[in-house]
Amino acid sequence: MGRLLGPPDLMLAPGHWVRRELIAWPVDGVPTGVDPSGLDWCLHASPDGGIDPAAREPVSWATAEVRFDPDGLPPDVLAERPHLRGYLALRLDPETVAQAERLLRGQVVLSLHQASGRLVNAGSLQVPGVLDDIYAAATRAELGLRWSDRTPTLRLWAPTARDVRLRLWRAGDDLRAPGQALPAARESDGCWSISGSPDWAAARYRWEVTVYAPSGRRVVTNQVTDPYSLALTVNSTHSVIVDLADPELAPTQWCQAAQPRLGHAVDQVIYELHVRDFSISDKSVPADERGSFLAFTRDSLGTRHLKRLADAGLNTVQLLPVFDNASVEEAKDRQHRPPKSDLRAAPADSPQQQRLIALTVANSPYNWGYDPWHYQAVEGSYCSSLASAEGSGRVHEFRAMIGALHGLGLRVVLDQVFNHTASYGQNTKSVLDRIVPGYYHRLSPLGHTEHSTCCPNVATEHAMAQKLMVDSVLLWARDYKVDGFRFDLMGHHSRDNMIAVRTALDALTPQRDGVDGRAVTLYGEGWNFGEVADDARFVQARQGNLGGTGIGTFNDRLRDAVRGGRPFDHDPRGQGFGTGLFTASNGAAVNGDGYHQRDRLLADTDLIQLGLTGNLRDYWLPSNSRRMFVRGDELDYSGGPAGYASEPDEVISYVDAHDNETLFDALTLKLPAEVPMADRIRLNTLCLALATLGQGPVMWHAGTDILRSKSLDRNSYNSGDWFNFLDWTMTDNGFGAGLPPEVDNGPKWDFFRPFLADPALKPAPSDIAEAHAQALDLLRLRASTRLFRLASGHAIRTKLTFPVSNTAHQVPGVIVMRIDDTVGEPAQHDWRSLVAVFNATPLPVRLAVPGLDGQHVLHPVQARGHDVIVKGARVEGAWARVPARSFAVFVRPW
């Protein structure tokens, strides 16, 4: 803000036009000691960006006096925009207010002068607030493409545009030609619309928008694809007119397979999967369908793997982004990949593999897809052919995948990325900002686009940005039968955004819409950072703010306590409960001495125990680290409350995901090198169990059940098929594929080299099969009883205890959880009581457990299961005996 009092720079926008009659200006935009009421304030508006606020007769549409309001900004404005607290309030006269719509079609600048006429300061104005005020009716508009009696109507919201035309290319037209220019009609809500004819079906189009662009201080004419595009040409050069209700776009299985239903949101067992990863290496899939949506429709090794998981208890597949992204080359003949022979020839610890992959990034067929281009269109690179990526083929193939997954009994959750776009301003892949410049993206105090998400941040607190978010979610749920949504960086959205999404979904009915929107689940990343942190701009949709909504957030507390360390640690060898902290030290200095490790282990134990309750804020936990009972929200995590949920469906437990190292890679980095592979497998299963047998939904990263490795890559978003390898033959887990890409991993290469070079750390096919079999039993165990899936915080608080925590019986590295169905709510479950013992230590344990008796037996799933070692777990009176690096569940029948 200190730049405000230098020479006026109209590329900066420190002021906010928040309502028709009201402007907010920062206090530090006025010289210290100067009374703002004694200044002359002027609003300048120009059609072409030629304003000079120092000139006596500026070239402008209007120069209007502005009145300083000593009462400041009204409370309702500050409630909507708390970051404007302390700003000065300025009022416009009625004549200027009446011209606001016209003035907003050009450059708007506020200047302040001394009584002598000398310019004191000047700056452009941020206009989203006044646009929301004037064009509030647009939130009810039907944007994009709509059909009525076979006639298409296209509608675009562009309130600041001077002119809007539709450029149309009918079927067979050369897209290199200019296309037919058709004028659109301006509507009172800021929309422009045009109706066509039945022969527009399959036509290509773009909007041609003439608008003032603040980024260049000039009027531009942009040809832009439709932000509400339903289909696109290859590489998204043009939007395509399609009718989603066309029977030709409705595969039989998609029509006939019922959407799987949950008994309750806590029942979710989620498998996070990337479409291309699923089949690109699966030779049982036809070659032209590998990496595509259609691979899910085949009887393949991959679909058989999913079927095994589903039969054991998995019920949901969460797909990484499948909307149109801006990174992947969609034309297969233009895609570049390094020769596999060159990749295979390099040693396991070589930097050569990542160098070869880096050379092909520009035209790579691979990306996670977190770079949104069009929110309502399917990504074309996942289509089986160039022809199917062109237009409506995307719709058919994506629906075929949905139908196939439903046929396997699996719900489908889509990863949504409304917190940012791939580009902004006048850049080629910018859409929203070339239609309504300065509106859709969140701006800094000086008017620069914020990038705290890594990319241009979308301001979903603005009405029409929220509308895009809500409309897109409804389309995927209603027109594609999607069962749930995961929101990337959800903490950058407001709680009101998420409630609006929830409310809109709840209004969908099977009778009218073909789907029950109330069954659609919502969860996301509730991280608290960036310019919105600590509710700076609105009440965020972050951890601790979503109580009572049924919207979940990922539980990083349990994740970090199980794995050890934090995702961005310099030294990745920091250990946790499941990776040998104190009980099997790896000797790394980052872990501290034995006393420090023991203290940390006790604190991690507390976090895991709280995670097993669903991370409830009001659960009274017998704390090992505090040596007293503490509420969940009194337990510390990184200086804040560990417990934040009101109900168990508000937390998603997990120990690995697409971000950061896989669970196998984390175990590799953190365990002592001498730990045998058999024990690594057991700890892999134990870590998964700490998430899976806790209350609330659980998510597994695809392949975690088969020891998936990314060769220690912590951020494989563009690391290609090589580092994202997923092998359903269960022959190769991907470890030892070379040093991971230097851009994100280079500073840790010295840590990685000895691990990658050690052949003993690469599992054999028999090891992978063993891990998979243990994981299947874990899923069966969770599915076998509702005691692991209690549906309310009250039931958890009354039934679930940790009987040895903070007692003389507590063993470091061991957790005992008891669920007693004889107390609290009426019993509706299979067992009178259940005792789960998690032993992460390298030694078998025998410990006394209050409430345990000779009538408890090893759970039938484990007693009849694959794991021979855990079958040795048993109850001896009031004592439990559990093998090393194992978990055992003992049950007492009614």
Spatial neighbors of 439 by CB under 8 A, at least 6 apart, are: 127, 128, 131, 160, 432, 433, 459, 462, 464, 465
In eight-state DSSP terms, residue 391 is T
Helix (H, G, I), strand (E, B) or coil at 14: coil
Q: Are 156 and 468 in contact (CB under 8 A)?
A: no
Q: Are 848 and 799 in contact (CB under 8 A)?
A: no
Alpha-carbon torsion, ordered 361, 364, 367, 373, to 10 deg: 100
β-strand pairing of 628-631 with 636-637: unpaired
Strands (E), 402-504: 411-416, 484-487
Taking alpha carbons only, the member of 22, 23, 2 closest to residue 12 is: 2
| CA separation for the pair 362, 336 (Å, rounded) | 8
Output the six-digit token pair for 852.
Answer: 């345990």
Angle at 811 between CA 809 and CA 814, to 5 degrees: 115
Task: Specify the DSSP element, H or E, that contains 35.
Answer: none
| Burial call 154-165: b when 16+ CB within 10 Å, e when fewer | bbbbbbbbeebb
Could you confirm whether 777 is annotated as catalytic?
A: no
Alpha-carbon distance values, 591 to 472, 571, 586, 674 (Å): 46, 10, 8, 18
Alpha-carbon torsion, ordered 623, 626, 629, 631, to 10 deg: -80
Direct distance between the N- and C-terminal alpha carbons of the chain, in angstroms, rounded to an integer: 69
Spatial neighbors of 223 by CB under 8 A, at least 6 apart, are: 167, 206, 207, 208
Angle between helices 463-480 and 393-407 (to 10 degrees): 60
| CA separation for the pair 648, 267 (Å, rounded) | 10
| CA separation for the pair 886, 867 (Å, rounded) | 10
Output the six-digit token pair for 347.
Answer: 């040693």
Select which of 329, 415, 471, 488 is catalytic. Answer: 488
Longest Cα–Cα distance of the chain, Å, equals 95
Q: Where are the alpha helices (DSSP H) in 286-339?
A: 301-312
Select which of 21, 277, 289, 525 is catalytic. Answer: 525
In eight-state DSSP terms, residue 457 is B
Q: Which residue has the tokens 């699923």?
A: 278
Angle between helices 677-692 and 594-612 (to 10 degrees): 40
Task: Specify the DSSP element, H or E, that contains 305.
Answer: helix 301-312
Q: Which residue has the tokens 């039945």?
A: 198
| CA separation for the pair 2, 14 (Å, rounded) | 11
| CA separation for the pair 654, 652 (Å, rounded) | 7
Q: Are 852 and 860 in contact (CB under 8 A)?
A: no
β-strand pairing of 119-126 with 107-113: antiparallel
| CA separation for the pair 94, 763 (Å, rounded) | 76
Q: Reading across the β-sheet that carries 191-195, which strands appear in turn?
A: 144-148, 151-157, 191-195, 185-186
Output the six-digit token pair for 546.
Answer: 């979503």
Q: Are 815 and 887 in contact (CB under 8 A)?
A: no
C-alpha 136: how far from its chain's center?
Answer: 29
Could you confirm whether 525 is annotated as catalytic?
A: yes
Helix (H, G, I), strand (E, B) or coil at 289: helix
| Burial call 423-434: b when 16+ CB within 10 Å, e when fewer | bbbeeebbbbbb
The catalytic residues are 488, 525
